[in-house]
Structures are given as structure tokens and as C-alpha cells.
A and B are shown apart, each in its own frame.
Chain A
Amino acid sequence: MLDWEALVREKLAGNSLEGEELREVAEELAGHLEETFAQLRREGLSEEAAAERALSEAKDWRSLRRRIQIARHKEDVMTARVKQVWLPGFLTLFLSLMLLMGIQFIGAKPFVVSPHGWRVMAPMAVIYVPWLLCLLPIGAMGAYLSVRAGASRGGTFVSTLFPVLPYCVFFMVGFPVCVILDDHVAHNVVLSALWVGLIAWVVLPATALLAGAFPVRVLKSRCAASA
């Protein structure tokens, strides 16, 4: 009498399935093979032929092992993470960058003249404030996509704040390095610029994004609670 479970377990060896999960899959597949074998025996096949036919159900064990692994783990990891964090995150980042660029090109370009009569550059606020305001709906959209895909509070938070993460890394890592290496780099970087940069490009945009995301999160939670 064949030990189907031991056989399946051996064939599935090398799979990322472990412990209880491997035992369950092996038991289930072994049950199927055993029933196929019994049916074939009832149909009059010899024990050897029936076992061979039953085993041929798996076709290629290596391929089956890989497909089971993908079905049980990878698809979930890929689709869930991509839908809940990466997709909304990159979309908010892309939109925020495109808007910043768009406002510079097609936004207001006031004609500013100095007391001496020279034309000077418009203040940064002309670009910055509209951009900051646009981050509200962008944050809301990121949160909506993330929550709709079933993201946790943390996932929604990350995807909403995704546009400020590159700036955050720059100001937390790149800027201090520049300050330390001041003698060796061409730019005259001062420490106060770090704080100004952090506030202007990380804290305020993050606040705007979260302000947009917050009502969406609350609304979705209420809908889920009432459903």
C-alpha cells in the first residue's frame, strides 16, 4: 500500500511551504491521489498501473510545486502590496511632481518690479502655495485608492506620504552630508537651510497630504462600520 502523503511530501520538498501549511497541502493532494487510485482500481487497473496513472495527474511536480507556491503566497504579496501601497504611492508622487512642474510652466507668472525698476523673479510662494493646495486632493486620492484596495492604516499612511519620502531622504541624509563636507563641495550649505527645507518640502507637504487623506479614511471607516 502506497503512503501517498509521504510521497507527496517528498515531491513537494524544496517548496517554501513549511510546517503546518506543507502538512495540509500534502494531506490534501495525497487524498486526491488516493481517491484517484482507488477509482482506477475499481475500473480494473492493476495496482501498478493505477498508481502510475494517479501520479501522472501531477504531470510535472516541479511545475506544480512552483504553481502552488505562487498561488498560496506570491500572488497575494504582489497584488496586495502593489495595490495597497506602491500603486497609490507612485501615483501620488507622480501627480505631485507633475503638478509642481506644471505650475512652474503654466501657473501664474506675476510681473514683479524692484524699487529700482528692475524686473525680479516672482517669490517662491507663487508656485509653492498652489502646489501645497493641490496636495490636498492628491492625498485624498492616494488614501482612497489605498483604502479601497484594503490597506491597513499604516499602508494608507505610507502611500499618502509617498510624495514627501524622496525629499525626506534628501533632507535627512543628503543635506547633512553636504553640510559635513562643506569644505569639499561647491555649495555653501548652511544648517538653517536644512530646517527650512525640511519644513517647506517635508513637513508642510506631508501635512497637506494627510489633511486630504484624513476625511477619506474617516468616511471609509464609517462606511465599513455601517455595512
Chain B
Amino acid sequence: MIGTGIKRGTAELAVLSVLEDGPLHGYEMARRIEGQTRGALRFTLASLYPLLYKLEKRGWVRGAWETGATGRRRRCYRLTAQGKKKLTPIRKEWAELFRALRRLTKVSNA
């Protein structure tokens, strides 16, 4: 399991990356991140929504209410053009960090 400090730093990247594949609502997003990282990253209500609201304020994601097949209203988030633009440098920064850590710690697959 990854520590909270490291996870906090990766949160933006995780949310933006998962939204790159298409719009998702909060619960689905949390499940998708948990599934794709095989449980290493887990978003709870407390960690996900303040981040989503922050990203929405920055204009990186946009939330809109949608009614599903069950008639239930859900707020779906999609990546904005600005968010897509931000994702590239964030990815680059993390890739650089991973490479540096790999060199430093000699941990493979860091």
C-alpha cells in the first residue's frame, strides 16, 4: 500500500488520467482508479470530492448533472481542454521523478 504523502501528490495525475478516457462520476472514478492501480491508490469520499471541486475551480475538469438509466441524477466529470493541456506537463514531471528515483534507489519498476 502506498503512503498518504505520496498518494496526495499523485491524486491530480490519477484523476486527470482516468478522465482522459471519458467522463465519469465520482464513485465510478474512485472504482476505476482503485481497479486500474490494483488497489494501490484508493480514493475515498474525503479525498476525492475536495480534489474534484478544486480541479473544477481551476477549470481542468467540468462537472455536469446527468440522469442515468435508473433515473438517478449523477454529476459526471469530464476533462476540459485546459485540463488536457495540464496533463502533459504533469505526466512529464512524474516520469522524470520516477526516472530520478530509479537512478537513486536502484529500485526497478519505480
Interface of A with B (CB < 8 Å)?
24-25, 27-29, 31-33, 35-36, 57-60, 63-64, 67-68, 70-72, 75-76
Q: Which residues of the other chain, A, contact B48 by a CB distance below 8 angstroms?
A: 32
Q: What is the predominant secondary structure among interface residues of chain A facing chain B?
A: helix
Q: What is the predominant secondary structure among interface residues of chain B facing chain A?
A: helix
Q: How large is the interface on B (under 10, 10 to 19, 20 to 34, 35 or more residues)?
A: 10 to 19
In contact, B44 and A59 (Cβ under 8 angstroms):
yes
Q: Which residues of the other chain, A, contact B26 by a CB distance below 8 angstroms?
A: 28, 31-32
In contact, B54 and A75 (Cβ under 8 angstroms):
yes
Give 25 pairs: A residue, B residue, CB < 8 Å, sorted on A: A28-B49, A28-B74, A28-B75, A29-B49, A31-B26, A31-B27, A31-B72, A32-B26, A32-B27, A32-B49, A35-B27, A36-B45, A57-B44, A57-B46, A59-B44, A64-B45, A64-B46, A68-B49, A71-B49, A71-B51, A71-B53, A71-B57, A72-B53, A75-B54, A76-B57
Residue of B nearest to A73 (CB): B57
Q: Which residues of the other chain, B, contact A57 by a CB distance below 8 angstroms?
A: 44-46
In contact, B72 and A64 (Cβ under 8 angstroms):
no
Q: Which residues of the other chain, B, contact A67 by a CB distance below 8 angstroms?
A: 46, 50
Q: Which residues of the other chain, B, contact A29 by a CB distance below 8 angstroms?
A: 45, 49
* Cα A60 to Cα B53 with chains together (Å): 18
The yes or no answer to B73 lying at the interface (CB within 8 A) is yes
Chain B residues 71-105 with CB under 8 Å of chain A are 72-75
Q: Which residues of the other chain, B, contact A70 by a CB distance below 8 angstroms?
A: 50
Would you give the shortest CB distance from A165 to chain B, in whole angstroms? Answer: 29
Q: Identify A59's interface contact among B30, B46, B49, B74, CB under 8 A.
A: B46
What are the interface flags for B27-70 relative to A under an 8 Å C-beta threshold, 1 for contact and 0 otherwise? 10010000000000000111011110110010000000100000
Best-buried of B30, B45, B46, B74 by chain A (most CB within 10 Å): B45
In contact, B46 and A60 (Cβ under 8 angstroms):
yes
Given contacts A31-B72, A32-B45, A57-B44, contact A68 B50 (CB under 8 A): yes
